[in-house]
């Protein structure tokens, strides 16, 4: 890479002790090998296990990594805290399990550095997308949710709002995440909840006329006990309506 590209990588984490240390090392190694000018921000959502201690193990070896410790308010506010702390010209948020490998950044980032787009989002839909080990019912639920979104909000040609791998020009990200209403000032709670915050982020970006590019990626399904199909599906559908009301006033 002839000229170093500045990128902040935000990784939200909640009780990720089994994987966070090894995955952080993988992210740092890849970005270093590619010659990026980078920082990695782990934004912790009030973890109750050894997540923070394991992150600190990596920080002791790599000063490019930092830890933000937040109250347990869910994924949306946790991602927002990390994004708003980013200082490099572009910012990526990526799930801690690396379901979308960090190497997929190289597919998304050129759309921003070219000046053609303000946001590039990973998609598990499209002919070039690859889904690994995803249960059929999980896929069906995701498609139903995205159809519901399209009925409630005008999301253009975005077929996958929920893939946890999105990159923004940082000034755009600060504007968009600073305008969160439904997933902005959220009270602390006791159960894990991912929610539809990606929908609110993308809807705000569209209302701001920011240019969004969808990029097919390879994505691997990892089993989790944190998501309740019935409970979370209801809450997410409810929140899509809340997003419509909040941003159409």
Give 104's DSSP letter. G
Q: Is residue 116 part of a domain?
A: yes
Q: What is the number of domains present in the chain?
A: 1
Identify the pLDDT of residue 2.
41
230-241 pLDDT, tens digit per residue, is 556 678 888 888
Whether 1 maps to a domain, the answer reads: no
Range of the domain at 220: 6-248
User: Which helix (DSSP H) or strand (DSSP E) does residue 205 occupy?
Assistant: helix 197-207
Residue 225 domain flag: yes
Angle at CA 221, nearest 5°, toward 218 and 224? Answer: 150
Is 83 inside any structural domain? yes
The ranges of the chain with pLDDT < 70 are: 1-3, 187-194, 224-233, 249
Q: Which residue has the tokens 């933000």?
A: 68
**Is residue 23 included in any domain, yes or no?**
yes
- What lies within 8 Å, CB to CB, of 172 at 6+ separation is 118, 119, 205, 208, 210
Find the CATH number of the domain harbouring 22.
3.90.550.10
Contact 121, 84 (CB under 8 A): no
pTM equals: 0.91
Supply the pLDDT for residue 1.
Answer: 45
């Amino acid at each position: 890479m002839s000229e170093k590209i500045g990128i902040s990588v935000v990784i939200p984490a909640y009780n990720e002790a089994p994987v966070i240390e090894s995955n952080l090392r993988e992210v740092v190694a890849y970005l270093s090998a590619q010659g990026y000018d980078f920082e990695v921000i782990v934004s912790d959502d009030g973890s109750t296990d050894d997540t923070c201690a394991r992150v600190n193990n990596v920080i002791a070896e790599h000063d490019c990594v930092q830890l933000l410790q937040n109250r347990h308010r869910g994924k949306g506010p946790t991602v927002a805290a990390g994004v708003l702390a980013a200082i490099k010209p572009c910012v990526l948020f990526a799930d801690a399990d690396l379901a979308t490998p960090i190497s997929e950044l190289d597919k998304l980032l050129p759309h921003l550095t070219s000046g053609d787009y303000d946001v590039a989002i990973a998609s598990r839909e499209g002919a070039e997308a690859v889904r690994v080990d995803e249960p059929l019912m999980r896929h069906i639920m995701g498609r139903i949710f995205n159809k519901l979104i399209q009925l409630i909000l005008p999301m253009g040609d975005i077929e996958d709002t929920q893939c946890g791998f999105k990159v923004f020009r940082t000034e755009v990200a600060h504007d968009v995440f600073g305008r969160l209403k439904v997933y902005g000032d959220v009270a602390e709670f006791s159960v894990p909840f991912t929610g539809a915050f990606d929908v609110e982020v993308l809807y705000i970006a569209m209302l701001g006329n920011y240019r969004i590019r969808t990029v097919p990626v390879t994505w691997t399904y990892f089993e989790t006990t944190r998501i309740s199909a019935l409970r979370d599906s209801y809450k997410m559908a409810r929140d899509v309506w809340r997003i419509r009301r909040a941003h159409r006033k």
